[in-house]
Amino acid sequence: MTIPFPLASGRYETGPAMRRFGQAGQGFPAESGHFQPDDRFVETIDTKLALLLRAPEECHLTARGADPGALRATLLEAFRLLAAEHPHLAVVDGEAVCLRHLGLRVAGDRADRVDEPWPGLAEAAEYLTAQHGLALWGNALALAAQEDLAIVTGPGGTLEWLHVCLPSGWAPAEKIGLPFGAVHQPVAHSEALVAGQERIVRAMIEAGPFVRYVWGIHRDGALCHNPRLHRSAPWGDNPATQAWFRVERQTTKGFPALNRALFTIRYWVEPLTDTAADPWRRERLCTALAGMDEVELVYKGLTPAARQQLVDWLST
């Protein structure tokens, strides 16, 4: 499977880079859809479940003071979105949801078995039957899709709800309840992003839907890079054989009547040697790495020495 490659420009670029569904950009044709299941669906759901069983408080979080009614209504809208895009996964009937791959019907505060789950998903189905209330609805949505998920509320873009099992180097428990600007403060050269936070949040809720891609280079191929749950080995003597190329697809879907937006994050990872096997990708990745400044290197977890070794290897 060829993973997306958001480096057609050959530059490391900061900023929102949000484009509407139906518009081309970042080297991609026009696209749509918030959820994109593929042949790694069961593997990804199993990885999420393992992290939920290990440390649910690090993955599934609700901000203090969140409105339970509005949050539940937003989750139901997210289920409707999933059902519209992938009816083989979910069907919504009023305020009940049938999750076909899990063999469950979620209604009220409980999940009931109605069919056999897909092979490999029996444990996920069993986990959900033990959940109740908002915990059930949030976990059910997360185990119905490969994407990690967030709900933001206006006007400041507060992170009201997070179900993020597979983050790229940040801890959801340290972000829940924060406004948009504070969440993105650590991003390299984030001044313009933070300054435009009100406009961006308003667009997320009232306009769109939007899509964007980001990329990074990691020291291993783990899907979860939550620093409170995962530690990568330091860069070794040969970063080229250690490094993994990671891509995120992020989408937003606004629900203006609820003053909220759904934010989805989908991940792909592959060994950097696989990425570099394509000459066009290798050239653009090399140029982008060579052009990164010190602030950008720190944000991406690259040392100057590792960057230079990767550039030398890619250029030869």
pLDDT, tens digit, 9 for 90 and up, residues 1-21: 689 999 999 998 776 678 999
Query: What are the structure tokens assigned to 228, written together?
Result: 């409170």
Band of residue 197 on the pLDDT scale cut at 50, 70, 90: confident
**Residue 304's pLDDT is what?**
93
Q: Which helix (H) or strand (E) holds 106?
A: strand 104-107
List strands edge to edge, sheet with 158-163: 19-20, 210-218, 244-255, 260-271, 148-153, 158-163, 60-62
Q: How far apart are CA 20 and CA 32, in angstroms?
A: 9
Residue with tokens 């179900």: 163
pLDDT, tens digit, 9 for 90 and up, residues 100-120: 999 999 999 999 999 999 999
Residue 29: pLDDT over 90: yes
Q: How far apart are CA 121 and CA 102, in angstroms?
A: 6
